[in-house]
Chain A
Amino acid sequence: DQQVKQNSPSLSVQEGRISILNCDYTNSMFDYFLWYKKYPAEGPTFLISISSIKDKNEDGRFTVFLNKSAKHLSLHIVPSQPGDSAVYFCAASVRNAGNMLTFGGGTRLMVKP
């Protein structure tokens, strides 16, 4: 039973355009969400997070949107750069229950020059 799902295993975008990565969750107890970027044979790198009390958080080229009613979050990268090519994982946690992360399956983003 996957509580966090990333339904698109891959996404290809032209350099300079917007990349939109999607994530859906089923556990309504989740109240903290994170996005990580991962290169092969490396550990994930933290990108951006959002608390359930917000619906948007922005950090430079990265913006995360949270739609609690739809149990959906998305990561927008604009403008996309070739160096953004990696696997992106969304993760969710329940803050007052140990805050363990539950990861989605990942989406491989390819940004073409």
Chain B
Amino acid sequence: GAVVSQHPSRVICKSGTSVKIECRSLDFQATTMFWYRQFPKQSLMLMATSNEGSKATYEQGVEKDKFLINHASLTLSTLTVTSAHPEDSSFYICSARMGTDTQYFGPGTRLTVL
């Protein structure tokens, strides 16, 4: 199956700093990448959709200036959490899609903001 990687897997940062999370499709070119957030014991919530070379589309309630998404190539998307606060602590998961159907997910990144 298609492989999607995320880096880092875990990150701890101080309040007010920015954190960048990378998402890569390793064996396919992803026309679209997605960023999700999962709170403990809850489902995945879509944050934004990004297509290579264009601006990301953010879901309602997600601050685009706080969660910066860059989809620089068909195999790489980055999510930068700017001026992180403790309430941003969460599990962030990316997914990548080739074509129009199945999304393949990365392993996730656990962000802890102190």
Contacts and interface: CB of A to CB of B under 8 A. Distances in A.
Interface of A: 32, 34, 36, 41-46, 49, 89, 95, 98-101, 103-106
B101 A43 contact: no
B46 A36 contact: no
B43 interface: yes
Interface in B31-59: 34, 42-44, 46, 49
Nearest to B100: A99
B55 to A, nearest CB: 15
B101 A46 contact: no
B103 A32 contact: no
A14 B31 CA distance: 41
A89 B100 CA distance: 20
Contacts of A105: 42-43
A89 B42 CA distance: 11
What is the interface of chain A mostly: helix, strand, loop, or mixed? loop
A100 B46 contact: yes
Contacts, number: 50
Contacts of B106: 43
Given A41-B110, A42-B107, A105-B43, A49 B93 contact: no
Contacts of A43: 4, 6, 93-95, 105-108
Contact of A89 (B4, B43, B110): B43
B104 interface: yes
A105 B110 CA distance: 20
B101 A99 contact: yes
B24 interface: no
17 contacts: A34-B102, A42-B107, A42-B108, A43-B4, A43-B95, A43-B105, A43-B108, A44-B44, A46-B104, A46-B105, A89-B44, A95-B101, A98-B49, A99-B101, A100-B49, A101-B46, A105-B43
